[in-house]
């Protein structure tokens, strides 16, 4: 569990330490493997109860998504002036 959570945070950390422009922040998307992993967790959540590890992983992944949404809102405000 921790490995997958760290991978998505590492993606975000690497992206943010590259000093992206507001436009690049708006265009940011997680890697295809990260997106596929989230979809697997969401599908599993719909079809069966998640294990404690899966549930924690899903919560943390959604926290990363929420963080990026907030960042994108601020980037959009900068772009729009």
- List the chain pLDDT tens, one digit each, 81 residues: 555 667 889 999 999 999 999 999 999 999 999 899 899 999 999 999 999 999 999 999 999 999 999 999 999 999 998
Q: Do you know the residue count of the chain? A: 81
With contact defined as beta carbons under 8 Å apart, do 74 and 65 qualify? Answer: no
| Pairwise CA distance, residues 36 & 34, whole Å | 5
């Amino acid at each position: 569990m921790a490995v997958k959570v760290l991978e998505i945070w590492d993606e975000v950390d690497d992206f943010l330490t590259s000093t992206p422009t507001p436009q690049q922040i708006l265009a940011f998307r997680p890697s295809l493997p990260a997106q596929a992993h989230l979809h697997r967790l969401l599908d599993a959540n719909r079809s069966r109860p998640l294990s404690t590890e899966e549930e924690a992983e899903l919560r943390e992944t959604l926290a990363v998504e929420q963080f990026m949404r907030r960042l994108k809102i601020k980037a959009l405000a900068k772009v729009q002036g």
